[in-house]
Amino acid sequence: MRTEEKIGIILKREALTLSAAESCTGGMISHLITTVSGSSAYYLGSVTSYAISVKEKVLGVPSRVIKEKGVVSAEVAAAMAEGVRRLTGSTFAVATTGLAEGGDEHYPEGSVWIGVSGPHGTNTLLYQCHGGRKANIRRFATAALHFLLDCIDGYIIRYKSTEETK
């Protein structure tokens, strides 16, 4: 079973919702999520923020954070996830900012910071691979969905189980 199908089953069962904010993955995560039949029950939508102006204006990423930490950073990934979660009102949000093609002063080509925000807080992960633009985009999206599933699982095990046993 594909990761996006597993995510769908859990979100549907728990009546939770999801949104996404994508930079380097450019819509691939949203596309994978929406290939799942019935995804409109839990998926609210996404923002692809290719331009910095969209990151700042639509997602509310502070320009100070972009200047100080760099557009490819844990802090920007976290702010993007938190921004789209706030914008859509979803339970969880996943975000990516990375380098599918060409490196920058801090990271080589094939690096992506993934952010996942939810009721538990926000987590970030650095993932790196080597495959050229298209393969990197696909691997980044897959890594982001894996990390999202881990975070959702963790939340349900830690917090929802605790609530139920109260």
CB of 13 to a second copy, least distance (A): 19
CB-wise, 146 or 154, nearer to a second copy? 146
Among 36, 26, 27, which Cα is nearest to 5's? 36
- From the list 64-72, 82-90, 117-125, 156-164, the region that binds a second copy by CB under 8 A is 82-90
In the DSSP assignment, the letter for residue 1 is -
User: Minimum Å distance from CB 133 to a second copy?
Assistant: 6
The span from the CA of 93 to the CA of 79, in Å, is: 11
Least gap, CB of 45 to a second copy (angstroms): 4
The torsion of the CA quartet 45, 94, 63, 110, rounded to 10 degrees, works out to -120
Question: What character string, x for contact with a second copy (CB under 8 A) and - otherwise, covers 35-74?
Answer: x-x-xx--xxxxxxxxx-xx--xx----------------
